[in-house]
Structure 1
Amino acid sequence: MKATTRARRVGIYLRISDDREGAGLGVDRQLKDCKPLAKQLGWNVVEIYDDNDMSATDRRKKRKGYHRMLADIQSGHIDAVIAWHPDRLYRQPRELEDLMDLLDDPELNVELRTARTGTIDLSTPDGRMLARIQVAVAKREVEHRRERILSKVQELVEAGAIHNSGHRAFGYDRHFDGTGPRRKITHETVNEREAAYIKDWADRALEGATLYSLVVEANDSGILTTTGGPWSYQGMRTLLRSGRVAGLKEHRGEIKGPAVWPAIIPVEKHKALRALLDTKTEEYRAEHGERKTTARKYPLSGLPRCTCKVPHTVGVPCTCKEEGKRHHRMKTSPRGDRPTGVYTCARDGGGCGARTIDIPHFEKAMEQLLFAQLEEVEAAVAEDPDDPRPALEEKLGKLERRKAELEVELDEGDRSVREITDALTRVKGRIATVQGELAEQSVKANVLDINVEDLRKAWEDYSVARKQAVYRGLIEEIIIHPATRPFNVFNPARIEIKWK
C-alpha cells in the first residue's frame, strides 16, 4: 500500500516597512498573493506572522512576528514558510545567515517559498550565493537611502526648516499643502492658547518653581500634550529647555541657529532656562524622584534647618560648610496638643527629633521678613542697577569656545590624548560652575523683577508652589535656633535666614 505524504504545515510571513495610512493594506495585499500559493502546493496554513509597519533594517525594534516564526520552526509547529518576497524576510546579511543555519537543519526539514520569486533553495551553494548577492544589494540600497535621508536632514538643519515628520510641537499649529498621510508641512504659526502656557511656565521656572510643581498644576488643569496625554517631568523639561520655543533650530541637543517658525519666548529667556534646567535637573530628581506626589502642602518645605548638632549664635556668621558639617533637615509633622502642624528636626537624618517651630506663626513671620528683604533689595537695585549676568554670559561664551578648541585639538591629535582630556574635564567643570551661577542669578533676577507692592497684593492668591518658588529664588536655607522662654510665645528671633 502506498504511503501518504503529510501536507506541510505552513506559516505565512507578512511585513511592510512603512504603513503611512495605518490600515494594514500592504500586508493584506501580500496575504492575498500568498494564500493561493499555499493552496496550489497543498499546504495547510496554520499560522500567519504579521510585522506591519516594521522595518527589517532598524535594529532598535524587534520584529516580534519574525522571531515568533523562527521559534515555531525550531519547535516543529511549522515546517514550511511562505513570504511575498525574500526581502520581506531579511534585509541584513546577518539575518540571512541565521535563517540559512536554521533551514539547513535536516531534522527540521523546512521548505521556503515566495509568491514573487518561487522556490528559494538555500541548501545549494548556488542558491546561497544568489541569496547573499540579493541581500548585499538590498543592504547597499538601504545604506544609500540612509545617506540621502541624513543629507536631507542636514539641509533642513542648516536652513532652520521644519522636518516633515513627528508630532506637532506644543505651542504651534501646523499648516499643510495637500491632504492625506503624505501631505507636506508648509509652515507653522503660534497657537496662542498653548503659547500662553509656555510663557507662564517659563516665567515660573525662572522664578524658581520646580518642574514637578508645573507638571502637577498642568495636569490638574487638564492641559494635555499634543499626543493627548498628561505631562511628565521629562516632557516639561524638554519643552522649556528646547530652542524651538525661542525660534531656534535644535539638532541632537545643540542649537544650530535661527529657525523659520516664530518664537514664543525671547532667546535671552531661553538661555537662562537652559542654564537653569541643566544645573538643577539632578537636584530636582534627587529631591522629588521618589515622591508619590509632587505637590507640597507648605510653601517653606525643604528650607528650614536645625542646628542641634552644630550650635550657632544669632548674628555670628555660619562656618559649617567650611568645617564639613551640615544642618539637619526639618520636616512637617502633626502636633498632638495643637490643631496646626509644626516643623520638626528629622531624626532619620541624624537630627535631634526634638526641636520644633509652629507652622502658621513661622509662615507669617517669614512673609514679613521676605517683603522687608525685597524692599531693601529694590532700593539697592535702584542705586546700583548693575546686572552680573552679562559678565557671566561672556565668561561662559569664552569657556564654550575653549571647549570647542580642545575638541578640535583632540581630533587632530597635536597633543597627547590624556593632556587634552584633562584640560577638557577642567573646562567642563568651570562651565558647569558658571552655568550654576548664571541660573541662580536668573532666578533671583526674575523674582526681584516683581514689584513688592504688587507681590503683597497678589500673595494671598498665589499657589503653594508659586510661593515656594519665590522663597527658593531668594533663600538658601532657614536656620531655626532653640526655643526661648516663655515657650508658649512665638519668638521670631529664632529665625535666621541665609539669603542668596
Structure 2
Amino acid sequence: MKTSARARRVGIYVRISDDREGAGLGVKRQEDDCRLLAASLGWTIVEIYDDNDMSASNRRKKRKGYHRMLADIESGHIDAVIAWHPDRLYRQPRELEDLMDLLDSPDLDVELRTVTAGAIKLSNSDERMLARIQVAIAKREVEHKAERIKRKIQELVAAGAIHNSGHRPFGYERIYEGTGPRRKIIEDRVNEVEAKLVRDWADRALEGESLYSLVVDANEKGILTSTGGPWSYQGMRALLRSGRIAGLKEHKGEIVGEAVWPAIISVEKHKALRALLSDRSEQAKERGAQRTTTARKYPLSGLIRCTCRVPHVVGEPCDCKEQGREHHKMKTSPRSDRPIGVYVCAKDGGGCGARTIQIPDLEKAMEQLLFLQLEEAETALVEDPDDPRPALEEKLGTLQARVAELEVELDEGDTPVREVTASIQRIKGRMTKVQRELAELTVKTNVLEVSVDELREAWEDYSVPRKQAVYRGLIEEIIVHPATRPYNVFNPDRIEVRWK
C-alpha cells in the first residue's frame, strides 16, 4: 500500500567521518538542518540514526546507525530518510547498489531527501545512472585522498619524522604547535621519569626476567601507560621491542632508519631485546603456553627435576638426556611436620611423589654454586673476549634479506607459489633458530656483564623474579638425586646443575 506524502514517518541519518572535536558537534549541526527540512515538509521524525566519527569509505568498520536505518526501512518502521548530503548516506558504489536493491521492493514507498542536494531519485534508469556517476566521483575522491595520505606517510617514514597522530609514546613528552584538535606535533622529548623505567625494564628483560613479572611489578607500583591505563603483556612487549625507544623509525613492524627523536636505550640493546622477545613469542607458540601474570614464589621454581625411575649410577652425572629421557618436575609443597617448604617430585606427572629436598637448603647451596660458576665464567670471559653475537646478527640479517627477495618473487608470480612459500617457511625456521641462539647468548651475556662482587653485594636486594632471571639465564635444569645417610643432614652432592 502506497503511503501519502503528507504522512511520512522520517528517519534522520547523520554522519561525520572525523570528529576531532570529540563532542559530536558536527553531527548535531547536520541534525538541526535535517529537522528544519522535515518540519518544512510536514514529516514526522520517528528516529535519529547517528554514525559519529565514522567514515563511509571504511569497509572494515560497520556503520551501525546506517544498517539499523536500512532494517527499519525494510520493516516499514520509516518510509522516508533525510540526510544532510548524499555522501553522508553512501560513498561506495556497493552501498548505492544495496540501497537501490532494497528500494526496488514493491511493498516499499520510500522517499529520500537531502538538505543540500534536494531529493535523491532512484526510480528510473536515468536517475540511477546519474547516482552511479556521482558515487563513482565520490569514490575517486576518497581513493585520491588515501593516496595523498599514503605518500605523506612514506615521506615521514623516509625522513624518520613524527606522524601527526597516535597516542603519546611512553618515555616521551609531546611538544605541540597550536592548540585544539588540529594542533601539530613538532617534537618528542625524553620524559626522564618514564625513560628511567624503560631502561630498567629493558635491563631486567635482557637479564631474562619475564615480561609478566615486569607487568605485575609495574601495575603493583601504580605505573600507568601513556593512555592512563594499566600495563598488559602486549603493551610491555610492544614497548620493549619498538625501535622508537632506540631512536629508530619503525614502519609496519620493520626498522627503516634513524628517527628525529632522541633514544632512551642503545641500538645494541634494542637489537638484543628484539631478538630475545621474538624468540620468546615463538617458544610460547610452540608450547601452546597460556599466559598468566602469576609470579613464582621461589627463585628456583620451574628448574628442579627428579631422577626417579631413571637408572643411573649413584654419584655419577645423570645421562637421561643421552638416553632421550626427561626428568620429572618437582613442585613446591609445604611440609606438615615443620614450617619449612620443600620441593617434591610431582606424582601427577608420573613421578615418584616421594623424593623431597628442603627449599632453604637448596637455595643456599645454589647461591654458592652460582657465584662459583660466575667467577669461572668471568675468568673465561677475560681469556676469550670474542662475542659470537655479531656473527649471528649478520646471519639473521642475511636470512631476512633472502625472505624479502622471495616475497618479491611471490608478488611477481614468475615462480610457482608453492615452491616459493615452502622456501620462505624453511628460511623462517632457520631464522627462529638463530633468534633463539641470540636470545640465550644475550641473557647470558647481560648476566655476566655484572661483576660477581657487584652481584653478590646486590643479591639480597634482588626480587624473586630478578633472581629467577639470573638462574634461568645460566641454568638449563637442576637435578636432585636421592638423599644419602645421615638423612637429617643436607648433602650438597645431591644437586647436579646443567649449566647453559
Q: TM-score range by the shorter chain?
A: over 0.9
Q: 1:375 to 1:41 in 2, by over 3 A?
A: same
- TM-score, L = length of structure 1: 0.94
Aligned residue-pair number: 498
Q: 1:490 to 1:38 in 2, by over 3 A?
A: same
Q: Is the 8 A contact 1:310 1:326 kept in 2?
A: no
1:66-91 CA distance string (max 9 Å, x none): 11112222222222211111111111
Q: 1:427 to 1:372 in 2, by over 3 A?
A: same
1:27 CA displacement: 0.5
Q: Name the structure 2 match of 1:122.
A: 122
Separation (CA, whole Å) in 1 of partners of 2:231 and 2:88: 38
Q: Is the 8 A contact 2:241 2:273 kept in 1?
A: yes
Q: Name the structure 1 match of 2:108.
A: 108
* Secondary structure in 1 matching 2:336: coil
C-alpha RMSD over aligned residues: 2.1
1:312-363 CA distance string (max 9 Å, x none): 4466555544544212222222221221222222233232222222111111
Stretch of structure 1 that moved more, 353-362 or 481-490: 481-490
Q: Name the structure 2 match of 1:249.
A: 249
Q: Name the structure 2 match of 1:466.
A: 466
Q: Name the structure 2 match of 1:356.
A: 356
Separation (CA, whole Å) in 2 of partners of 1:410 and 1:317: 51
Separation (CA, whole Å) in 2 of partners of 1:147 and 1:5: 44
Q: Name the structure 2 match of 1:258.
A: 258
Q: Name the structure 2 match of 1:299.
A: 299
1:412 CA displacement: 5.0
Q: Is the 8 A contact 2:306 2:355 kept in 1?
A: yes
1:235 aligns with 2:235: yes
Specify the code of the residue in structure 2 equivalent to 1:12. I
Q: 1:418 to 1:121 in 2, by over 3 A?
A: closer
1:255 CA displacement: 0.6
Specify the code of the residue in structure 2 equivalent to 1:279. D
Stretch of structure 1 that moved more, 135-144 or 174-183: 174-183
- Which structure 2 segments of 5+ residues have no match? none
1:195 CA displacement: 0.7
Q: Is the 8 A contact 1:207 1:447 kept in 2?
A: yes
Q: Name the structure 2 match of 1:498.
A: 498
Separation (CA, whole Å) in 2 of partners of 1:420 and 1:287: 27
Q: Name the structure 1 match of 2:278.
A: 278
Q: Name the structure 1 match of 2:27.
A: 27
Specify the code of the residue in structure 1 equivalent to 2:141. E
Separation (CA, whole Å) in 1 of partners of 2:455 and 2:398: 38
Separation (CA, whole Å) in 2 of partners of 1:407 and 1:48: 49
Specify the code of the residue in structure 1 equivalent to 2:191. N
1:114 CA displacement: 1.2
Separation (CA, whole Å) in 2 of partners of 1:288 and 1:372: 36
Report 1:278-357 matches (<5 A): 278-284=278-284, 290=290, 293-313=293-313, 316=316, 318-357=318-357
* Secondary structure in 1 matching 2:458: helix
Separation (CA, whole Å) in 2 of partners of 1:96 and 1:416: 39
1:191 CA displacement: 0.8
Separation (CA, whole Å) in 2 of partners of 1:13 and 1:497: 71
Separation (CA, whole Å) in 2 of partners of 1:46 and 1:493: 85
Q: Is the 8 A contact 1:56 1:92 kept in 2?
A: yes
Separation (CA, whole Å) in 2 of partners of 1:173 and 1:77: 52
Report 1:2-401 matches (<5 A): 7-284=7-284, 290=290, 293-313=293-313, 316=316, 318-401=318-401
1:34-93 CA distance string (max 9 Å, x none): 001111222111111111111111112111111111222222222221111111111111
Q: Is the 8 A contact 1:288 1:294 kept in 2?
A: no
Separation (CA, whole Å) in 1 of partners of 2:105 and 2:314: 85
Separation (CA, whole Å) in 2 of partners of 1:413 and 1:76: 51
Q: 1:309 to 1:113 in 2, by over 3 A?
A: farther
1:91-113 CA distance string (max 9 Å, x none): 11111111111122122322221
Stretch of structure 1 that moved more, 467-476 or 63-72: 63-72
Q: 1:115 to 1:410 in 2, by over 3 A?
A: closer
- TM-score, L = length of structure 2: 0.94
Separation (CA, whole Å) in 1 of partners of 2:62 and 2:392: 48
Stretch of structure 1 that moved more, 154-163 or 451-460: 451-460
* Secondary structure in 1 matching 2:7: coil
Separation (CA, whole Å) in 1 of partners of 2:216 and 2:210: 10
Q: 1:292 to 1:152 in 2, by over 3 A?
A: closer
Q: 1:152 to 1:195 in 2, by over 3 A?
A: same
Q: Name the structure 2 match of 1:424.
A: 424
1:394 CA displacement: 2.6
Q: 1:486 to 1:264 in 2, by over 3 A?
A: same
Q: 1:13 to 1:415 in 2, by over 3 A?
A: closer
Separation (CA, whole Å) in 2 of partners of 1:476 and 1:242: 29
Q: 1:7 to 1:410 in 2, by over 3 A?
A: closer
Q: 1:301 to 1:478 in 2, by over 3 A?
A: same
